[in-house]
Amino acid sequence: MAFPFFKKTTKRKKKQSVENYYKILNTRANASQLTIKQKYIEMVKMYPPETHPDEFQRIRQAYETLRDPVKRKEYDFLRKFGSKIEKLMDQAYYYFMIGNYDAAESNLQKALAIAPEMPPIYIIMANVALAKDNVQKFNEHFDLALQFTSEEDHLSVILIQAAMLIDSERCEEALKILDAAKGKYPDQAHNLNSTYLNAYMFLERYEEAWQLIPNMLPEPQDQTADDMHLYITWINLMIEAEKWDQWSLIQNKVRKLIKSVTDIEDREMMALAFIEEHDEYYQVARFREAEIFIDLACRTMPKDKNYTEKCRQTREMARFEKAFIRLQQDEDVIPLLSLYAFQWFFKDFFELEMMQTYREHLSEDFIRQMEQLDELIVEGIITLKKKYPVIYTRFKAQWDDMVTSRYSMLNREARRRLM
């Protein structure tokens, strides 16, 4: 019986927030990309993920948007409204975020009465319409947004429209919009790749996503620390598509990127991104995947003792995970011992429902029957001690207690066989 590992939840782009990303990073809207990067490092040091997880996520979300020139342009476009309607827009954002769509729409209508040719108002109205599951209105609002948008900003509006559809799990419709944009703006087709990638990943169309990556990678001489985000996506795609045979190729490229980055703040930024990926996998007990990212973090910041200790712990968990998978397939060990190892090891990672699901794979009747087989249990623990020292050592006290109690119930002949 295979261990029911959960797949990592696909990352979804968050809907536009009422918060000001520039304010979160303690900078201004005219800040350079370098300043944004420096402010991000500065804020993360003040609010590290280990002690301030909520604040860190807000900082991370802000940086993820502002670090990318295309995403930043879209974000700036959405916030491009005058002071006379700023309060109405802020109220509309607020009502939208708490799910009061009628109130949000009411404030947006008031804003339109003041500024009827302002595209961001129509875009937020489109988002409200989508939340109310009115796709027709959603498209109508975007048509009006495009009507009042300069030609040079049309692609930004289209990318926002596609992103909203992906957020609402209407990825096929998003792909149609992207295909039309590719035909209309062939010279800017490269700006569509990230959104295409998000849609393909959401739809689990991994082969199409895989084909996109090579076209998105920069030339080695043009690489910067920010390209690490694309490599992270590539690694996650490799994991989800189960293309483990490609890891040596990807690993080599990522290591070259790390080696090429000499600025300490850039290296800190890269390590933080690797750590975030590590933590997401670790929290759902996917230690093999977590080990990939903690290794990259340690390679990026080799003198950081916190990363070194985290790496040690993750490798230990990964070794247990590998041993546990082999144990499940070992016919020389009674399956009941796999159940015990699972319950002891994964209790801190899975909900009770998940633990119960694992028991149901064996069935309660089968478990009760196995629990009566004292000799097989003792024999299995002896085998486990020899073949799976990682599993035995971690729970030595439990295994030894079990051997002692079970062995005492065996007859002389059974004891002799086990000597």
| Residue 158 and residue 141 in contact, taking contact as beta carbons nearer than 8 Å | no
Pairwise CA distance, residues 245 & 320, whole Å: 22
pLDDT in tens, 269-300: 899 999 989 998 998 889 999 999 999 999 99
Pairwise CA distance, residues 31 & 95, whole Å: 29
Mean confidence (pLDDT) of the chain: 87
| Residue 275 and residue 297 in contact, taking contact as beta carbons nearer than 8 Å | yes
- Return the pLDDT at 83: 56
- Return the pLDDT at 4: 44
- What burial letters (b/e) apply to 138-160, b meaning 16+ CB within 10 Å? bbebbebbbeebeeebbbbbbbb
Pairwise CA distance, residues 40 & 362, whole Å: 49
Q: For the residues of 359-371, what is the DSSP string, one character each?
A: HHHH-HHHHHHHT
Which has the closest alpha carbon to 287: 403, 390, 413?
390
Listed by start position, the domains of the chain span 332-418
| Residue 213 and residue 241 in contact, taking contact as beta carbons nearer than 8 Å | no
- Return the pLDDT at 12: 39
pLDDT in tens, 135-185: 999 999 999 999 999 898 899 999 999 999 999 999 999 999 999 999 999
Q: With 0.85 as the threshold, say if the pTM is over it.
A: no
> Looking at 65-74, 198-207, 209-218, 350-359, which range is the least confident one?
350-359
| Residue 268 and residue 260 in contact, taking contact as beta carbons nearer than 8 Å | no
pLDDT in tens, 85-109: 777 887 888 888 889 999 999 999 9
pLDDT in tens, 332-349: 889 999 999 988 888 878
Query: Which residues have C-beta within 8 Å of that of residue 344, sequence separation ≥ 6?
Result: 395, 398
Pairwise CA distance, residues 144 & 72, whole Å: 22
Pairwise CA distance, residues 135 & 128, whole Å: 10
DSSP state of 380: H
- Return the pLDDT at 244: 95
Angle in degrees, CA 226, 229, 233, rounded to 5: 160
| Residue 278 and residue 314 in contact, taking contact as beta carbons nearer than 8 Å | yes
Pairwise CA distance, residues 194 & 67, whole Å: 14
pLDDT band at residue 187, thresholds of 50, 70 and 90? very high
Q: For the residues of 206-223, what is the DSSP string, one character each?
A: HHHHHHHHHHHSPPGGG-
- State the amino acid at position 29 in one-letter form: A
pLDDT in tens, 198-257: 999 999 999 999 999 988 998 888 888 889 999 999 999 999 999 999 999 999 999 999
Instruction: Check whether 363 has a pLDDT greater than 50.
Output: yes
Long-range contacts of 144-147 (CB under 8 A, 24+ apart): 144/119, 145/119, 145/120, 146/119
- Return the pLDDT at 135: 93
Helix ranges (DSSP H) in 16-167? 21-24, 33-46, 53-66, 69-78, 86-97, 101-114, 119-131, 135-147, 154-167
